[in-house]
Amino acid sequence: MIRPEQVKVLFADQSLGATVRLVAETLLARINGQEYAADERLPSERTLAGELGVARNTVREALDVLEGRGVIRRRAGSGSFVTGMMRQDETAIGHVAAETGPLDLQVMRGILEPEMIRLAIIAMSPRDIEGLGEVLSSMEAVTTNADDFARLEDEFHRHIARATGNPLLIACYDLVIAARRQAFRAALNRRFLTPKRIQDCQRYYNTLFNTLASRDIENAVEFTKLLLIEEQKLLMQEE
């Protein structure tokens, strides 16, 4: 069973949307109440979305939160299963994320993301591509809200990480996302994620999705590197 102090850590991320937080809390309460026992498979995303009256993307993001904290684990093609335990390194993860500055974060992304894209293209299933397309549709619906767009960017990249099927890489990218959600990013979003910039990013992600769906490794990796270089230039201007 998850202890109260662990629940506090689980939902400490203030970037979570209210509905995502509510769904995650609801699922966590069911797990603590043993409605879903350890090692039991959770209902499908579609079933949970219908039960809770929310979109599948919302359920998926709530499951991402629980998976990232070790409460559930996903098995490709089988679904989500309860572990009932949080990772013991949550405090350490939070500390590392809090100590990571913008340029340090960008360097790490430059190391991880191109290879992550490469591995995902090789390993991703049609279902992975479909899920990524759903996130892209949500991104394309955002016009002005920088925080919403940044949250969906994280979700897009988390889907790619998960599609690699590499648990160590997935855990590393969870830490990248935790670092991306530090306070400095909100300030950068307000400064740089203007409506025009959001439109530019939407075009980029649309192109990236098409290269992923067509399994065009060379162009997908190149697009990823170009965006990282552009973001680093913005950070250097801020410095």
The pLDDT assigned to 194 comes to 85
- Among candidate residues 167, 157, 165, 6, the one with its CA nearest the CA of residue 71: 6
Which residue's entry shows tokens 């801020």? 238
The pLDDT assigned to 2 comes to 43
- Among candidate residues 16, 227, 237, 10, the one with its CA nearest the CA of residue 113: 227
Q: How many Å apart are CA 139 and CA 10, to the nearest integer?
A: 25
The pLDDT assigned to 236 comes to 74
Instruction: Give this prediction's pTM.
Output: 0.65
- Among candidate residues 167, 138, 143, the one with its CA nearest the CA of residue 155: 138
The parts of the chain modelled with pLDDT lower than 70 are 1-16, 76-77, 84-95, 97-98, 182-190, 237-239
Q: How many Å apart are CA 162 and CA 81, to the nearest integer?
A: 15
Reported CATH class of domain 99-238: mainly alpha
- Among candidate residues 46, 71, 237, 73, the one with its CA nearest the CA of residue 134: 46
How is the chain split into domains, by residue range? 4-82, 99-238
At the second CATH level, the architecture of 4-82 is Orthogonal Bundle (1.10)
The pLDDT assigned to 162 comes to 87
The pLDDT assigned to 133 comes to 93
Is the Cβ–Cβ distance between 136 and 156 less than 8 Å? yes
